[in-house]
Amino acid sequence: MQEQFSRAESGGAAPGAIIHEDTTVKWFVVSSISYFFIVGIIALIIAAKFVWPDLMGTTAWLTYGRLRPLHVNGMLFGWLLAADMGLTFYIVPRLCGVKIWSEKLGVATGVLWNVIILGAVVSLLLGRNKGFEYGELEMSLSVLVVVAWLMFTANILMTVFQRKYQAMYVSIWYFMGCLLWTAFVYLTGNFATLLATGVNQANLNWMYVHNAVGLIFTPVGLGIAYYFIPRTSNTPLFSHKLSMVGFWSLAFVYVWTGAHHMLHGPISQWLQTIAIAFSLMLLVPVWAVVYNLLITMKGQWHQLRDKVELKFLMSGVVFYLLTCFQGPMHSLRTVNAIVSKTDWIPGHAHMAVLGAFSFFAIAGTYYAAPRVFGKLLHSVALANWSYWMIMIGGLGFFTTLWLGGFWQGWQWNNVSIPFIDTVVALKPIWTVRFISGVMIFVGIVMFAYNIMATVLGPETEAAA
Amino acid sequence: MDYTWPSVYFAYLFFFLMFALAVFFFVKTARDGYWGKDGEDIKYRMLEDGDQRRTHE
Amino acid sequence: MLRKADTSAVWAIVASLVLFFIGGLLTTVVPPMVDKSWGRPFANADPAKGPTGTLVRLNAQQQQGRDIYVREGCWYCHTQQIRTLLADTKRYGWKGVDAPISTPDEFVYDTPHMFGTKRTGPDLARVGGRYDTQWHRTHFRNPRDLVKGSIMPAFPWIVGNPQEFTALVAYMQTLGRAKDWRPSNDYER
C-alpha cells in the first residue's frame, strides 16, 4: 500500500492491475475548481452588497436578485455537484475493480455539464428565472440536466453491474442512492412543480429543495467521505453494518421532511407535524454515519497533522454532525418561531454545503487530482493554508450568522421594534460575514491554484 | 376536519411499525449469518485496490 | 435476505426506490387530496367567519408585474406569508388592525409560488394598499431616500420604464387583498 511506485514502474508490475484512464475525472476536476473560483467572486459581491447596498447597484444584471441565483446554482451545480460527479467517476471503478463502463460517455457528460453551467450563467444574469428556489434554471437547461444525469447514471450503474467483487462497499450504496433519488427529486422540483399552483406547488418545491441537499449532496458527499477517510488514513472503516444502518435509515426518512420549510405557514398543520416528526428521525442516519467515521479515526487522530485531506474530511464530519443537529432542532415549532426566515438559515445552509459537503469534495480533489494526472501535489504547505483559511473563514461566517439570526428573530418577535431597525442592527454581522467571506475566498483561490499548478506542473518523475 | 390527533396517532403507529421492522430485520439477519465473521470483509478489501502512483507519503 | 442486500445491486436499487416513494408519495401527492383547501379559491361573504372577499385571478397588467417580481428575484428577500405567529399578524397589520393569517386558499392561482424563505426585507403578503404609487416610485428609484438604513437595491431601470413600473405596482397592490381586512376600504392606490 505504501510502496513507492512511479507511473512507469507500475505499468509492467502487478499483473492484471487495471490502469484507469480517468479522462472523465480530469474534466470534472478542472471544470469544478474553475467554477468554485468564478462563483466565489459572485459570492463575495453579494456579501459586499449587504454592507454597501449601492455597490454596482444601477446595472440590472449586477443586482442582488440576479446574482444570488447565480451564486446558489453556480456553487451547487457548477462546483459541488461537478466535483462530486468527478470523484464518483474516480471512486466507483476502483471499488468495483473494473474500468469505467464508458470513458467516452463520461467525457461527453463532462462537456455537457459545462454547457449547462455556462448557459445558466448567461440566462440567470439576463433575469430568465423560473422562480423556484434551486429550480431557477430555465426549461431547456433543466432538460439538459436530466439528460446529463441519465448519462452519468447509466455509466456508473453499468460499472457497478460489471464489478469484479460481489460485495459492495458503502460508498457504492450511497452513490447508487444519489443517482436514483436525484432523478426523481430533480424531476419533482423542475417539472412536477409546473403542474401545480399555490401551496401544492410550494410543497413540491420544498420537497425538492430539502432533498436536493438531503438526497443529492448528502449521499454523494457521504460516499466520498466513506471512501477517502479510510483511504487517506489507511485505516479500515469501523463498521460496515453500521454504515448500512445509516444508509437505509437515510433512504427512508429524508424524503418526508419537505414541509418543515413552511412551519407556521399556510400549509396544513398535520403535514407540518409529520415533517417535524421525520425531521427528528433524521438524527438516526446522521449519528450512525458520524459515529462510524469518528470511531474509524480512533487512535489515528495524529494523522490529521500530516494529511491535509484528513483535516478537511474530519472537519467536514464535525460540520455535518452540527448542521444535521441544527436541522431537526429548527423544525421544532418553538425554535422555528425564532430562527425561521432569519440570517440563521444561510448560516445553517452554508455549514451543510460549504462546511460539510464542500470539505469532503475538496479533500477528495486533493487526493484524486495528483493521482489521475500522475503528478505530485504542487504544495502541501499551500494546501494546509487553504484549509486554515476556509476553516477559519467558514467558522466566522457560520457563527456570526447564527448570532445575527437570533438577534433578528427575537427583534421580529417584539413588534414595538420597527422592521428597519432590525435591518440596521445586523450591519455589523454582515460586515463580519463579508470579511469571513474574503477569507474563504482566499482559501478557495489557494485550493484552485494548488490543483491547477499540480495539473500543469512537471511530471512526477521530473519532480521527484 | 381537525387533523391534530390523527397526526399524533399516525406518528405513534409509525413508531411502532418501525420498531417492529427493526426487530424483524435483526432476527432475520442474525439467522442468515449476517452478523458472522466475514460480514465485515468488504471494509478491508476496499483498502487493497491501491492506486499505484507516487504521492508525498 | 440482507445477505443479498449486501451483494445485489438490483436489490439495492429496488429497495431504495421503494423506500423513497413511500415517503415521496405520502408527502407530495396525498396531501392535496386530503386537504381540499389547497385548491379551493378563497371566497367568504359572511363577516362572522372573518374577513370577507373573493380571490380573483390577476389581469394581464398585474401578471406582467408579477413576472417582473419573479425576474428581479424580489422573492429572495421578501416572503409572502403571514404565519400563525402573533408577531407576524401584529407587525404586518395596519393602524391597529391585525393582518389576517395567510391561508392556502389565498394562493390558489399563484405560479410560481412566491412564499419565500428569507426575510431580509419585510413580508409582503398584505402589502397591497399599504403605500401609494408615488411612494413606490420614490422607493424603487432609491430605497434609502425613504427608508434610512435600507439595504434594498435601487431599481432605476424599472422606474424609468413607465409600463413596467405601473405593472409592478399594480401587482403589489393586489397582495393580500383577497381578504378585505382593513375597515372602511382604507387602502392606498
Does A10 map to a domain?
A: no
Cα separation, A108 vs A49, whole angstroms: 38
| Residue C103 and residue A121 in contact, taking contact as beta carbons nearer than 8 Å | no
Write out pLDDT tens, residues C116-128. Answer: 999 999 999 999 9
Cα separation, A194 vs C34, whole angstroms: 21
Question: What mean pLDDT do residues A192-217 have?
Answer: 94
Cα separation, A205 vs A259, whole angstroms: 9
| Residue A257 and residue A324 in contact, taking contact as beta carbons nearer than 8 Å | no
What is the structure's pLDDT at B56? 44
Q: Could you give the percent of chain A with pLDDT greater than 70?
A: 95
Confidence of residue A457 (pLDDT cuts 50, 70, 90): confident
What is the structure's pLDDT at B49? 65
Place of cell 394598499: C129
Tell me how close the Cα of A448 comes to any Cα of chain B, in angstroms. Answer: 19
| Residue A85 and residue A357 in contact, taking contact as beta carbons nearer than 8 Å | no
Is A244's Cβ below 8 Å from some Cβ in B?
A: no
CATH topology (fold) of C58-185: Cytochrome Bc1 Complex; Chain D, domain 2 (1.10.760)
- Our count of domains for chain A comes to 1
CATH number for A332: 1.20.210.10
| B33/C3 CB distance under 8 A | yes
Give the sign of the dihedral formed by CA A68, CA A73, CA A76, CA A82. Answer: negative
Q: Which residues from chain C sit within 8 angstroms of residue A255, using beta carbons?
A: 20, 23-24, 27
What is the structure's pLDDT at B51? 52
B-C contacts (CB, under 8 Å): 15
- Name the grid cell of A288: 450512525
Confidence of residue A359 (pLDDT cuts 50, 70, 90): very high
Q: What is the mean pLDDT of chain A?
A: 92
Which residues constitute the domain of residue A101?
Answer: 22-463
Tell me how close the Cα of C180 comes to any Cα of chain B, in angstroms. Answer: 25
| C6/B28 CB distance under 8 A | no
Confidence of residue B37 (pLDDT cuts 50, 70, 90): confident
Q: Which residues from chain C sit within 8 angstroms of residue B33, using beta carbons?
A: 3
Nearest to A171 by CA among C12, C51, C2: C12
Question: What mean pLDDT do residues A79-91 have?
Answer: 97
Write out pLDDT tens, residues A138-167. Answer: 999 999 999 999 999 999 999 999 998 888
User: CB atoms < 10 A from the CB of A458, how many?
Assistant: 12
Nearest to A337 by CA among A284, A277, A410, A394: A410
| Residue A278 and residue A257 in contact, taking contact as beta carbons nearer than 8 Å | yes
> In sequence order, what are the residues at sequence separation of 6 or more whose Cβ sits closer than 8 angstroms to the Cβ of residue C18?
none
Cα separation, A330 vs A333, whole angstroms: 7
* Start-to-end CA span in chain B (Å): 67
> In sequence order, what are the residues at sequence separation of 6 or more whose Cβ sits closer than 8 angstroms to the Cβ of residue B50?
A1
What is the structure's pLDDT at B55? 46
- Name the grid cell of A383: 494546501
Confidence of residue A7 (pLDDT cuts 50, 70, 90): very low
Q: Could you give the percent of chain A with pLDDT greater than 90?
A: 88
| Residue A205 and residue A133 in contact, taking contact as beta carbons nearer than 8 Å | yes
What is this model's ipTM?
0.94
Write out pLDDT tens, residues C94-123. Answer: 988 999 999 999 999 999 999 999 999 999
List chain C domain ranges.
2-34, 58-185
Confidence of residue A460 (pLDDT cuts 50, 70, 90): low
| B55/A17 CB distance under 8 A | no
| B32/C1 CB distance under 8 A | yes
What is the structure's pLDDT at B50? 56
Does A117 map to a domain?
A: yes
How many residues does this entry show for chain A? 464
Cα separation, C64 vs A426, whole angstroms: 34
C53 DSSP β-pair partners: C44
What is the structure's pLDDT at A450? 97
Question: What mean pLDDT do residues A211-217 have?
Answer: 93
Write out pLDDT tens, residues A320-347. Answer: 999 999 999 999 999 999 999 999 999 9
More confident residue, A17 or A178: A178
Confidence of residue C7 (pLDDT cuts 50, 70, 90): confident
What is the structure's pLDDT at A388? 97
Name the DSSP class of A215. I
Q: Is the pLDDT of residue A11 over 90?
A: no
Nearest to A400 by CA among A350, A331, A327: A350
> In sequence order, what are the residues at sequence separation of 6 or more whose Cβ sits closer than 8 angstroms to the Cβ of residue A417?
A411
What is the structure's pLDDT at C2? 57
| B52/A17 CB distance under 8 A | yes
| Residue A264 and residue A337 in contact, taking contact as beta carbons nearer than 8 Å | yes
Of A37-51, B17-31, C167-181, the one with minimum mean pLDDT is: B17-31
Cα separation, A117 vs A144, whole angstroms: 10
Write out pLDDT tens, residues A245-291. Answer: 899 999 999 999 999 999 999 999 989 998 999 999 999 999 999 99
More confident residue, B15 or A336: A336
Question: What mean pLDDT do residues B4-16 have?
Answer: 82
Q: Is the pLDDT of residue B8 over 90?
A: no
What is the structure's pLDDT at A10? 39
Nearest to A430 by CA among A79, A64, A125, A76: A64
Helix (H) / strand (E) containing A274: helix A269-281
What is the structure's pLDDT at A6? 39
What is the structure's pLDDT at A231? 94
> In sequence order, what are the residues at sequence separation of 6 or more whose Cβ sits closer than 8 angstroms to the Cβ of residue A74?
A35, A38, A39, A42, A117, A120, A121
Cα separation, A175 vs A195, whole angstroms: 30
What is the structure's pLDDT at C167? 97
The minimal CB distance from B4 to the residues A10, A94, A270 is found for: A270
The reply to whether omega before A418 is within 30° of 0 (cis) is no
Q: Is the pLDDT of residue A9 over 50?
A: no
Please classify residue C11 by burial: count the beta carbons closer than 10 Å to its beta carbon, then call 0-12 exposed, 13-18 middle and 19+ buried.
middle
Nearest to A400 by CA among A352, A372, A371, A435: A435
Cα separation, B49 vs C12, whole angstroms: 23
| C3/B34 CB distance under 8 A | yes
| Residue A218 and residue A254 in contact, taking contact as beta carbons nearer than 8 Å | yes
Write out pLDDT tens, residues C135-158. Answer: 999 999 999 999 999 999 999 999
| Residue A96 and residue A172 in contact, taking contact as beta carbons nearer than 8 Å | yes
